A and B are shown apart, each in its own frame.
Chain A
Amino acid sequence: MKIVGLRNNICVKNGKMTCGSKMLENFISPYNSTIVERLNTAGVKTENIDMKEFGVVEDNFIQEFFAGNTSNTAIMVDGSGEIARNSVNGLIGIKPTFGAVSRYGVVTVAPSLEQAGVISKDINELKEVFDIIKGYDEKDSASVKEVLENKQSDDIKIGAISEAMNLVNGFTAQKVEITNLKYAKKVACMISSAESSSNLARYDGIKYGHRAENTSTWKEVYTKSRQEGFGYDVKKKMIAGTFFLDRDNMEEYYKRAEKIRTLIKQEVKELFKKVDVIAIPSDSEYTCIANLTGRPAISANGVTLIGNFFEEERLIKLASELTK
Chain B
Amino acid sequence: MAREDYEIVIGLETHIELGTKTKIFCNCSTEFGGEPNAHTCPVCLALPGATPVLNEKVVEYAVKAGLATNCTIPEYTWQNRKNYLYPDMSPGYQVSQTEDFICQNGYIEIDTENGPKKIRIYEIHIETDAGKLVHGEYTNSSLVDLNRAGVPLAEIVSEPDLRSSEEVEKYLRSLKAIMEYIGVSDCKMQEGSMRADINLSVRKKGDPKYGNRTEMKNMNSFKFIVKAIEYEALRQIDILEDGGEVPSETVRWDEVSQKTIPMRDKDSAAYRPFPDPELAPIVLTKEYVENIRESLPELPEVRKKRYIEEYGLPEYDSKVITASKHFADLFEGAAKICNNPKAVSNWIMTEIIKVLNDQGLEPADIPFSSSDLGNLIILIDNGTISGGIGKKVLAEMFENPKAPEVIVKEKGWVQISDEGAIKEVVLKVLENNPQSVADYKAGKDKALGFLVGQAMKETRGQGNPGMLNKMFLDELKK
Q: Which residues of chain B are within 8 angstroms of A198 by Cβ–Cβ distance?
A: 81, 83, 92-93, 272, 274
Q: Mark A187-203, 1 if CB is under 8 A from B, else 0.
A: 00000001101110111
Task: Give the nearest-CB partner of B146 in chain A.
Answer: A207
Report how far A138 CA is from B277 CA in the complex, Å: 17
In the complex, whether B346 has a CB less than 8 A from a CB of chain A is no
B131 to nearest A CB, angstroms?
10
Complex contact B90–A207 (CB within 8 A): yes
Q: Which of B28-36, B40-48, B301-309 contacts A (4 or more CB under 8 A)?
A: B40-48
Q: Which residues of chain B are within 8 angstroms of A203 by Cβ–Cβ distance?
A: 48
In the complex, whether A112 has a CB less than 8 A from a CB of chain B is yes
Q: Which residues of chain A are within 8 angstroms of B49 by Cβ–Cβ distance?
A: 9-11, 29, 33, 104-108
In the complex, whether A254 has a CB less than 8 A from a CB of chain B is yes
In the complex, whether B52 has a CB less than 8 A from a CB of chain A is yes
Complex contact B274–A194 (CB within 8 A): yes
Task: Give the nearest-CB partner of A34 in chain B.
Answer: B51
Complex contact A208–B47 (CB within 8 A): yes
Q: Which residues of chain A are within 8 angstroms of B442 by Cβ–Cβ distance?
A: none
Of B51, B53, B272, which one neighbours A245 at CB under 8 angstroms? B272
Report how far A75 CA is from B230 CA in the complex, Å: 64
Report how far A242 CA is from B83 CA in the complex, Å: 10
Complex contact B42–A222 (CB within 8 A): no
Instruction: Using A201-B92, A246-B272 as known contacts, say yes or no to A140 and B48 having CB atoms under 8 A apart.
Output: no
Report how far A9 CA is from B42 CA in the complex, Å: 15
Q: Mark A74-86, 1 if CB is under 8 A from B, else 0.
A: 0000000000000
Complex contact A139–B53 (CB within 8 A): yes
Task: Give the nearest-CB partner of B270 in chain A.
Answer: A247
Q: Which residues of chain A are within 8 angstroms of B83 by Cβ–Cβ distance?
A: 197-198, 201, 245
In the complex, whether A27 has a CB less than 8 A from a CB of chain B is yes
Complex contact B81–A206 (CB within 8 A): no
Task: Kindly identify, within residues 45 to 94 of chain B, every residue whose CB is under 8 Å from any CB belonging to chain A.
Answer: 45-54, 81, 83, 85-87, 90-93
Complex contact A111–B278 (CB within 8 A): yes
Interface of B is mostly: loop
Q: Which residues of chain A are within 8 angstroms of B270 by Cβ–Cβ distance?
A: 247
Task: Give the nearest-CB partner of B43 in chain A.
Answer: A139
Complex contact A27–B48 (CB within 8 A): yes
Q: Which residues of chain B are within 8 angstroms of A68 by Cβ–Cβ distance?
A: none
Complex contact A104–B47 (CB within 8 A): no
Q: Which residues of chain B are within 8 angstroms of A140 by Cβ–Cβ distance?
A: 51, 53
Complex contact B272–A29 (CB within 8 A): no
Report how far A29 CA is from B53 CA in the complex, Å: 20
Complex contact A207–B51 (CB within 8 A): no
Q: Mark A127-170, 1 if CB is under 8 A from B, else 0.
A: 00000000000111110000000000000000000000000000
**B47, B48, B142, B278 interface centre (most CB from chain A within 10 Å):** B48
Of B46, B54, B81, B269, which one neighbours A207 at CB under 8 angstroms? B46
Complex contact A141–B279 (CB within 8 A): yes
Complex contact A218–B142 (CB within 8 A): yes
Report how far A199 CA is from B95 CA in the complex, Å: 12
Report how far A247 CA is from B86 CA in the complex, Å: 20
Report how far A254 CA is from B46 CA in the complex, Å: 25
In the complex, whether B356 has a CB less than 8 A from a CB of chain A is no
Report how far A21 CA is from B274 CA in the complex, Å: 26
Report how far A30 CA is from B54 CA in the complex, Å: 22
B204 to nearest A CB, angstroms?
34
In the complex, whether B38 has a CB less than 8 A from a CB of chain A is no
Q: Which residues of chain A are within 8 angstroms of B54 by Cβ–Cβ distance?
A: 141
Interfacial residues, chain B to chain A (CB-CB below 8 A): 42, 45-54, 81, 83, 85-87, 90-93, 142, 144, 269-270, 272, 274, 277-280
Closest 7 CB pairs of A and B: A201-B92, A112-B277, A245-B272, A202-B46, A111-B277, A107-B49, A247-B269
**Extra 6 A-B pairs, beta carbons < 8 Å, given A111-B51, A141-B54:** A10-B49, A106-B49, A141-B279, A199-B277, A201-B92, A204-B85
Interfacial residues, chain A to chain B (CB-CB below 8 A): 9-11, 17, 19, 24, 27, 29-31, 33, 103-108, 110-112, 138-142, 194-195, 197-199, 201-204, 206-208, 218, 222, 242, 245-247, 250, 254
List 20 A-B residue pairs with CB atoms under 8 Å apart, sorted by A's residue number: A11-B48, A17-B48, A24-B48, A29-B47, A29-B48, A30-B42, A106-B51, A140-B51, A141-B51, A141-B54, A142-B280, A195-B277, A197-B83, A198-B83, A198-B274, A199-B277, A202-B48, A203-B48, A206-B144, A207-B46
